[in-house]
Amino acid sequence: MKFTRFAFSALAYNVAVILWGAWVRITGSGAGCGAHWPMCNGSILPRTDSTQTLIEYSHRLTSGITLIVGCILLTWAWRIWGRSHRVTRAAGITLFFLLAEAALGAGLVLFELVADNDSVARAVVVALHLGNTFSLLGFGALAAWWSWQPGPARRPRHPEYTPLLWTALGGLFFIGMTGAITALGDTLFPIDALSDGPILERVLRDLSPTEHFLIRLRIIHPFTATTVGVLLLFVGGFLRAKVADPRVRNWALVVLVCTLSEVLGGYLNVALGAPGWMQIVHLAMAEALWIATIILMATTVSIESAPQDQPGGV
C-alpha cells in the first residue's frame, strides 16, 4: 500500500532527523545560528564557513521538512479514511507533536539553552524534548502500522495484557527522559575513559556533593534502564509463551533483541566514556526499542477488523 510505505518512510526520516539533532547537541552547535529563530544569524540563508552554523542550519532545514511530511501524512490519511479513523487520528497527533518539537527547539535557541548552558532549565527542556520525540515516533509508528490493517474497530484482542504493556511503555518513556539528561551531562562534562579511572571509581566521584548536578544525576539512568530492561525481557518472554498469534510472537522477539542490544550498548557507552558516536548509536537503539514496543502493544492489544471493510487503492 502506497500510504503505508510513505508512513514508514516518514517514520524512518523522523528517526534520522532526531539523530541529527542529537549530533547538534554533541558538537555544541545549538548556538550555531545565534539566538535567532527561525532566522539563522539574522538571515534566511546564512553565508558562513562555520561548521557549527552549518550543522545547526541543516538540522533546521531537515526539521522543517518533517512538518511538510507530517501535513502530507495527515491529509492523505484524511482523504482515504476520513476524519475519525484511527489512522487519521494517529497522523494528526503525530503532526501535533512535530509542531511541539519545533516549538521546543525554538525555545532552546531563543532562551539560549544550548552550547555550554548547564542550567536546570536546559535539563528540564531536554527531558521534555525527548518525551515529545518519543511521542511523535510512537504515533507515527501507529499511523503506519494501523494503515496496514485499517478496518473499523470491532473487538479488542488480549486486553488482559494492557496493564503490563502500559507499564513497559511508561518505563521506557521515563528512562528515555533520564537518558536525555544523562547525555546532556556527558556532553557538557565529558569523561576520559582512559584517564578517569575504573567505572566504580568514576561513579563514586560523580556522587560527590561538590559535583555539578548533571554529573550527580548520571547514575540514575543506568540503574533505571537496567530495571526497565529486565521488565521488557520479562514482557517479551511472557508474550511469546502466552500468545499463539505469530505476529505477537515475532514482535515480542524483536523487543527482546532490541532490549538486549540497548542494555549492552548502554553499558558499552558508559565503559567508553560516552563518546559522541556511541551516544548516537545508543539513541538509535533506544528509538528502535521504543517503536518495536509500540507495535508490539498495537499487535497484542489491537482492534480486530474485517478484511472486507478495508478501503481499496491505498
The stretches of 157-275 forming alpha helices (DSSP H) are 162-188, 199-206, 213-216, 220-242, 246-271
Please determine, for residue 130, whether its predicted confidence score (pLDDT) is greater than 50.
yes
Residue from 72, 34, 73, 75 nearest 56 by CA: 34
The better pLDDT of the pair 26, 312 is held by: 26
Please determine, for residue 306, whether its predicted confidence score (pLDDT) is greater than 60.
no
Strands 155-156 and 303-304: antiparallel
Whether 186 contacts 221, CB under 8 Å: no
Res 45: pLDDT: 85
SS3 82: coil
pLDDT tens per residue, range 61-81: 999 999 999 999 999 999 999
pLDDT (average), residues 132-145: 97
Res 98: pLDDT: 97
Res 264: pLDDT: 96
Share of the chain above pLDDT 70, in %: 94
Please determine, for residue 174, whether its predicted confidence score (pLDDT) is greater than 80.
yes
Within 13 Å and on the Cβ side, how many CA atoms surround 136? 28
The better pLDDT of the pair 37, 126 is held by: 126
Res 307: pLDDT: 43
Res 213: pLDDT: 95
Res 195: pLDDT: 74
Res 277: pLDDT: 96
SS3 64: helix
pLDDT (average), residues 271-292: 96
Res 151: pLDDT: 57
Q: Is the sign of the CA dihedral 278, 281, 284, 290 positive or negative?
A: negative
**Residue 131 banded pLDDT, cuts 50, 70, 90:** very high
The better pLDDT of the pair 192, 264 is held by: 264
pLDDT (average), residues 215-229: 93
